[in-house]
A and B are shown apart, each in its own frame.
Chain A
């Protein structure tokens, strides 16, 4: 081969980009498959567009700015049933509690599994257990939560009823169980990001005499901040969208009813509603029977989820180049704008 080329060198020919092969030469069955592929692809786009447009149309026609500031009022007529300010606050509270618990816990567990992982059986067990929690239905987590939080010694997390029985439903309880939803996502994301860090980063740190704990805290975790952030945002998305845990653990009162005098703690121990349970209750499957309010709240919910999605895209869109060293890399990243990763 080489000999032939050396004997008759050809002048370089401009390479034309290959034309897309036409499918007219294919057997009919393959052509059917080709069109099916196109059909499903476009079909998915159409379904997504239909969902967004439908919710947009219904939402814009029913959403009023007053709904964001009015509290829900008990009424069987849609014009008098107020807005959904309390459910929005409820969503924020539950998400905050869930994230505050799940984020540090998930990062700590991921760091331990990635860096220490002794004894090995414990590390494998923790990974499997978290995978099982990730796959468990949220209703099951909710009924387990209700069981635990109805015990007397946890009564300070919610409130007591007449003869001392514990209600077991409050923002704190719902938030704690919600953290179980977000934990596997934060854990997986952080662990994957830590696994992608090159060993020389750790070796450099040890060579400088740092302990493993310091390495994790000062070198590794700051390097995987985007991974941790995207895991947290994914977890938040899952928490915001969940209804089953709210229905079982949040008492389904129209407004956020605090318990006791203390300002923040009273609300956390009290019952209330979130956007998801508000939509559920106002749909024909719930008591409220206000389609307009359900659409309006569902529209707001969808917008929040879309915003979170866009945030995740932005966080994971910039692929980091292989790390060269802490500071230098960070300066490079900021200075060069978007860096494309090429292998």
Chain B
């Protein structure tokens, strides 16, 4: 077991103060994350209320199957993350790494599906500024797309893109924590980094819990 004393930073009086400070710091960071995504959510609310039919038409271009599958995948990853934290609280080196690797696998599956989805959007020309020929005209009916259709896709990419970036940042962090876990850095007295990583990962899951119905399911009927 690695030197526990080395895990207590010198400016803290004891582990309790360190843990409490880190927890509060992490939650303060998550509060700002809520507001960060919040700017996109308010943009969504404004434009969907203005252009409900265009948003509906936009959502119909998405696959609720893929979106639903990805939602389940992320929920699985939250479970495995919670199990990793639990393993860390028991100091079970192998289990920590196991559950974290599973979390990475689920996260990677999610991102893989997103690549498939984004490619599909590219083929249909639904990406503003990059491949946007499908945003102005419906290539099947040759009718113009309603106003707000482009805004829907702008929001789709901004929201899922920002979410995906958060996952891309999270996965290497999971890997580092997994390696540290294997090395025996975490145990019942100190497993704060695993917990904090868990908080971040769960937050990213929560964002998707809202993105799925708001972006995908509004085209369901």
**Do they bind each other?**
no
